[in-house]
């Protein structure tokens, strides 16, 4: 089959994190659905430029200039809005490498040759220098009818209508629910639920129909109705989220944490952290007031207080919490305040989608400081490394050694 070259400029825009039109987004989804391998290749291209260069080096029988000419001739006439960089320096090599792999994998040849390339039994694995890009605005929206929408590749605009509510993707990683006006004669709609889930290395912002805003951190799931019609406004959370709740005294806002407490709110800002791999769930109040309930225990928090569950399942309250550290992720930072090595690594593992492996006798070590979350992983590790703790990145595995 002849390769479908029309996908090349679309994938290039996606890899370079440029906005896609509705038609381009639809074409990209159709192309990705054609093979399970394509999603893996494209995600690797976007997150790991050094891997792209390594694959180009392995294609010794492909002339770079020939591929460049082919890509250039097909992109420039049809897509003059996509600038072609000068053929000098590292940026041109990355661009050429990306284009080369796209051309080949569009026809299916690259993945076949990559999977079936013979490896001599005596050959030792070659260590390739790697880095990992930070996470970004990525999430999956599951509608009430079971349809799944990849918000990372879907174009901005209205995505679906559910009852009297329209769901729209806004710019900069935001999802909004807008309830339309109804007449009194219209029947009360059946409650329908949506689920917004972020992967590791993903985050997203949600505008609920009551005006509440939710920032969903990486590796998290939020289940919520498309319209609040009952006595309260209830949502379910796994992972971490920051809430700015719209005030409505007649309809309390309620967050139910999976296997954890329930948080009741009237109108306030707070953060809930309830990852399965963390030792305890923590709810931190920024302003206003909330009540936390767990196993018939009830406590009310004041601003800068935090609730947590101890090993015996009892609710505890900590006062004078550093709230800026707690919500730093929402503002684009890691904020470590005497954070243990394990706590720090769990944050990095979720944001950069890496697996952490500890080797040797590691000392008790803490980290303090504020670092931007838009840096690459190697840049973060350079800031954290010391005489006591060292790091080595092998693909998606992060080794921590004394």
The phi, psi pair for 204, rounded to 5°, reads: -160, 155
Cα-only R_g, the chain: 24
Domain boundary among 310, 326, 342: 326
Angle at 176 between CA 158 and CA 282, to 5 degrees: 145
Query: What is the tens place of the pLDDT at every residue in 314-333?
Result: 899 999 999 999 999 999 99
Residue 2 lies in a domain: no
Residues 91 and 153 in one domain: no
The span from the CA of 147 to the CA of 37, in Å, is 22
Angstrom distance (rounded) from CA 137 to CA 218: 9
Same domain, 154 and 205: yes
Residues 72 and 108 in one domain: yes
We report the CATH number of the domain holding residue 351 as 3.55.50.30
If you search the block for the tokens 């196993």, which residue do you land on? 295
Residue environment code for 301-311, b if the CB has 16+ CB neighbours within 10 A, otherwise e: bebbbbbbbee
Query: Could you give phi then psi for residue 41, rounded to 5 degrees?
Result: -65, -50
Strand order in the sheet with 355-358: 355-358, 397-401, 390-394
359 and 311 together in one domain: no
pLDDT tens per residue, range 39-61: 767 776 766 666 665 665 555 44
d(CA 90, CA 146): 44
- What are the residues facing 309 on neighbouring strands? 315
Asked if 381 contacts 399 with a C-beta cutoff of 8 angstroms, the reply is: no
Residues 140 and 225 in one domain: yes
Is pTM beyond 0.75? Reply is no
Residue 122 lies in a domain: no
At 111, the pLDDT band (50, 70, 90 cuts) reads very low
User: Average pLDDT of the chain?
Assistant: 79
Residue at token pair 């394990």 = 342
Same-domain status, 199 and 294: yes
For residue 49, the enclosing domain spans 7-116
Q: How many domains does the chain have?
A: 3
Task: Report which DSSP code applies to 117.
Answer: -
Rounded to whole angstroms, how far apart are CA atoms 207 and 173?
A: 11
Is residue 246 in some structural domain? yes
Domain membership of residue 282 (yes or no) is yes
Domain contains 73: yes
CATH number at residue 242: 2.60.120.1440
- Condensed to tens digits (0 to 9), the pLDDT of residues 235-250 reads 999 999 999 999 998 8
């Amino acid at each position: 089959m002849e390769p479908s070259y029309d996908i090349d400029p679309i994938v290039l825009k996606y890899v370079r994190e440029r906005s896609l039109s509705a038609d381009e987004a639809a074409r990209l989804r159709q192309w990705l659905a054609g093979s399970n391998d394509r999603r893996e290749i494209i995600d690797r291209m976007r997150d790991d430029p050094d891997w792209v260069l390594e694959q180009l080096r392995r294609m010794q029988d492909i002339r770079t200039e020939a591929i460049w000419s082919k890509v250039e001739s097909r992109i420039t006439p049809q897509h003059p809005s996509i600038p072609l960089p000068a053929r000098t320096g590292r940026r041109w090599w990355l661009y050429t490498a990306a284009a080369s792999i796209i051309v080949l994998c569009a026809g299916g040849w690259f993945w076949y040759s990559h999977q079936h390339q013979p490896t001599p039994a005596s050959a030792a694995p070659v260590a390739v220098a790697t880095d990992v890009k930070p996470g970004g605005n990525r999430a999956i929206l599951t509608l009430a009818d079971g349809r799944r929408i990849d918000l990372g590749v879907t174009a901005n605009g209205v995505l679906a209508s559910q009852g009297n509510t329209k769901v729209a993707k806004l710019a900069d990683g935001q999802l909004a629910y807008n309830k339309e006006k109804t007449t009194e004669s219209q029947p009360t709609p059946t409650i329908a639920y949506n689920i917004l889930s972020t992967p590791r290395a993903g985050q997203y912002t949600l505008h609920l129909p009551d005006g509440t805003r939710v920032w969903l951190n990486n590796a998290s799931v939020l289940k919520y109705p498309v319209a609040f019609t009952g006595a309260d406004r209830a949502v379910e959370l796994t992972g971490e989220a920051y809430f700015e709740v719209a005030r409505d005294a007649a309809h309390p806002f309620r967050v139910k944490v999976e296997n954890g407490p329930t948080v009741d709110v009237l109108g306030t800002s707070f953060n809930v952290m309830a990852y399965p791999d963390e030792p305890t769930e923590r709810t931190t109040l920024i302003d206003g007031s909330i009540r936390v309930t767990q196993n018939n225990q009830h406590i009310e928090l004041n601003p800068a207080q935090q609730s947590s569950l101890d090993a015996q399942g009892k609710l505890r309250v900590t006062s004078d919490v550093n709230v800026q550290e707690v919500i730093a992720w929402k503002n684009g930072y890691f904020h470590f305040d005497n954070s243990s090595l394990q706590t720090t690594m769990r944050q990095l593992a979720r944001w950069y989608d890496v697996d952490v492996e500890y080797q040797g006798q590691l000392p008790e070590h803490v980290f303090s400081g504020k670092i931007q979350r838009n840096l690459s992983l190697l840049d973060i590790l350079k800031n954290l490394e010391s005489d006591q703790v060292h790091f080595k990145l092998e693909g998606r595995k992060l080794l921590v050694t004394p």
